[in-house]
Amino acid sequence: NILHPISNFWVGQLAQANAYFGSSLFVTLILISSVILAIFLNTLRQLVLPRKFNSPPEVFHWLPFIGSAIAYGDNPLQFYFDCQQKYGDVFTFVLFGRRITVALGAQGNNFILGGKSTVFNAEDAYRHLTTPVFGRDVIYDVPNEVLMEQKKFIKVGLSADNLRSYVGMIEEEVNEFIKRDPNFSLYQENDNKKWGSFDVVTALSEITILTASRTLQGKEVRDHLDKSFADLYADLDGGFTPINLMFPNLPFESSRRRDLAQNTMSNFYVDIIKKRRASGNNREPDMIAALIEQQYRNGRALSDREIAHLMIALLMAGQHTSTATGSWTILHLAANPDVAEALYKEQVERFMGPDGKMRSPTYEDIRSLPVLDSVIRETLRMHPPIHSIMRYVREDVAIPATLSAPSEDSVYVIPKGNYVFACPAVSQTDPKIWKNSDKWEPYRWSDQEGVAAQAYKAYLNENGEKIDYGFGAVSKGTESPYQPFGAGKHRCIGEQFAYLQLGTIISTLVRAMELKIAKVPDHNYHTLIVMPKEPRIIHYRRRRLD
Ligand code: HEM
């Protein structure tokens, strides 16, 4: 009410201006003055009006609705660290009209990722992004308890026996790829003197889709991995961006293409499933074979459409995450040739036969190579592909006083309708926890008493509490400062597969070539999954001659 006279004044001024300049100018002026007024009121609200005593501190922002979108969108990690310094581990910021409360640190991770799905809900946060891409009736398009059943089905497809059969296939795909991709022409010329070069993300994204389709996705998908499938995938992927997450209902051309691609890809999988059912041949060690056999608790089998949509979900879940992790690993190895040599030495000592030929690793081998393991763990510490894990707040919820509180006898409350973000990337690179936190130092993982090993133990929590959320007992792990695969009931189930896929790809590349780069590029946060900024050109030289 106090502000009414001010706005009336502006409306009066603009009306007079209209008499002079005509209506379009009048409209423009109205718009400009409304924006100025909104900025003014928003600033006044933050600086002058008292904040509700139990609301977490709010990040100051000039622009209403847009809020902190520019700082957050450009570099979320920097934004989180800056806010942590100003406001502590818990604060609220505005992102395109949504109010988001962030809880940082190991305790913050535990609070959000260990929270109940009836309070912190994943499907309400992700559904509008994922359902148009994956399709109906799977993952976040179903109630939480159904997702838990679907995760259980997927775990059957990721059995140790299946994984065991994948190592050789992955190795073969990588070797075939470097023998035919034009970027590896010097490798193909059998030249071990000259250095060639390749864009690491392009190469790794092709290798990832080739290896995932040969193994998990199954041979029919691998056989169709020609231009048409690649185009379909690209269109589907074009609908999986931060813009789709923030503005699901805007009529982008990319959304139209996404919907067409989803439909075609869904039919493509249904066709494979129908053929498999008709032929009675369902003994492939892949995901479709496993899903065909599964039944919900009420006895209903999965429909062809549900299987198709789960397959699309798995393709999307693994593709960028593994491409990003593989790319960062290769970049760091190229920038740290001593570590790449240690990795190569590990391969020679373990696999070189008396005839000078290296044998292929097995599943058990890949799981027991300390240098390889440390290199992947350290890369995931510094570059977890997902920087913000999101939940929608379905009920008012009190923040534990040990995490953040306005005073000794009261607590902060996050109101229903807000979102919460957990950011394990912050605790994974917090200088208060990790020595040389911004340095890629894989050997930190070899010290069994060190911070890294302790964090990993807490993540695996092998001898500690196990919980069955509905997809088999898993370690809770929500309190560890290291959580690249998330934690709690939404914890990743692709972790074993991802480690195996990445481990085999990296070993195969390191066996084949030396790598070199002057500097590891910065993070590009403008994509949903954090990628290295361009240029990201790796120089390579063939190691051994045929
Ligand atoms: C969930 C990371 C690879 C399938 C998650 C989450 C993270 C994550 C952080 C938790 C999301 C949340 O709580 O909102 C990664 C990383 C990967 C990777 C870093 C590779 C380096 C894969 C692969 C697959 C996969 C290869 C499939 C084969 C899933 C599924 C979920 C999940 C099904 C469960 C979603 C839920 O319960 O809400 N992943 N992932 N991921 N991931 Fe992965």
- Identify the domain containing residue 3 by its residue range: 1-49
Q: Are residues 38 and 149 in the same domain?
A: no
Q: Whose CA is nearest to atom 36 of ligand 1?
A: 490
Q: Are residues 161 and 273 in the same domain?
A: yes
Q: Which residue has the higher pLDDT, 187 or 479?
A: 187
The model's pLDDT over 134-165, given as tens digits with 9 standing for 90+, comes to: 999 999 999 999 999 999 999 999 999 999 99
Q: How far is the CA of 57 from the centre of ligand 1 (A)?
A: 31
Is residue 399, in this structure, part of any structural domain at all? no
Residue 196 Cβ inside 6 Å of ligand 1? The answer reads no
Q: How far is the CA of 322 from the centre of ligand 1 (A)?
A: 10
Beta strands in 164-203 (DSSP E): 196-199
The model's pLDDT over 419-435, given as tens digits with 9 standing for 90+, comes to: 999 999 999 999 999 99
Q: Are residues 307 and 445 in the same domain?
A: yes
Residue 268 Cβ inside 6 Å of ligand 1? The answer reads no
Q: What pTM, to 2 d.p., does this model score?
A: 0.94
| Residue 273 to residue 267: CA distance in whole angstroms | 10
Name the domain count of the chain: 2
Is residue 99, in this structure, part of any structural domain at all? no
- Mutation probe of ligand 1 site: the residue of 170, 207, 321 with most atoms within 8 A of C-beta: 321
Q: Which of 15, 30, 49 is the last residue of a domain?
A: 49
| Residue 47 to residue 43: CA distance in whole angstroms | 6
Confidence band of 190 (pLDDT split at 50, 70, 90):
confident
DSSP 7-20: HHHHHHHHHHHHHH
pLDDT computed for residue 283 by the predictor: 85
Is residue 246, in this structure, part of any structural domain at all? yes
Phi-psi map region of 524: left, alpha, beta (phi>0 left; psi -120 to 50 alpha)? beta
Residue 485 Cβ inside 6 Å of ligand 1? The answer reads yes
Q: Is the pLDDT of residue 293 over 80?
A: yes
Q: How far is the CA of 530 from the centre of ligand 1 (A)?
A: 14
Coil/strand/helix, residue 208 = helix
DSSP H or E stretch at residue 413: strand 413-414
The answer to whether 106 and 479 are in contact (CB under 8 A) is: yes
Which atom of ligand 1 is nearest the CA belonging to 140? 38
Residue 322 Cβ inside 6 Å of ligand 1? The answer reads yes
Query: Residue 492 annotated as binding?
Result: yes
Q: Are residues 359 and 456 in the same domain?
A: yes
pLDDT computed for residue 3 by the predictor: 47
Instruction: Determine the distance from the C-alpha atom of residue 120 to the mean position of all C-alpha atoms in its chain, rounded to a whole number.
Output: 19
The model's pLDDT over 300-358, given as tens digits with 9 standing for 90+, comes to: 999 999 999 999 999 999 999 999 999 999 999 999 999 999 999 999 999 999 998 99
In this structure, what CATH number is given to the domain that contains residue 381?
1.10.630.10
Q: How far is the CA of 231 from the centre of ligand 1 (A)?
A: 24
| Residue 440 to residue 486: CA distance in whole angstroms | 21
Is residue 149, in this structure, part of any structural domain at all? yes
Is residue 104, in this structure, part of any structural domain at all? no
ipTM, interface predicted TM-score of the complex? 0.99
The model's pLDDT over 494-517, given as tens digits with 9 standing for 90+, comes to: 999 999 999 999 999 999 999 999
pLDDT computed for residue 281 by the predictor: 77
Q: Is 41 exposed, middle or buried (0-12, 13-18, 19+ CB in 10 A)?
A: middle
φ/ψ (deg, to 5) at 265: -70, -40
Q: Is the pLDDT of residue 406 over 60?
A: yes
Q: Which of 24, 49, 74 is the last residue of a domain?
A: 49
| Residue 100 to residue 120: CA distance in whole angstroms | 12
Is residue 382, in this structure, part of any structural domain at all? yes
Is residue 168, in this structure, part of any structural domain at all? yes
Is residue 338, in this structure, part of any structural domain at all? yes
Residue 486 Cβ inside 6 Å of ligand 1? The answer reads yes
The model's pLDDT over 50-64, given as tens digits with 9 standing for 90+, comes to: 888 899 999 999 999
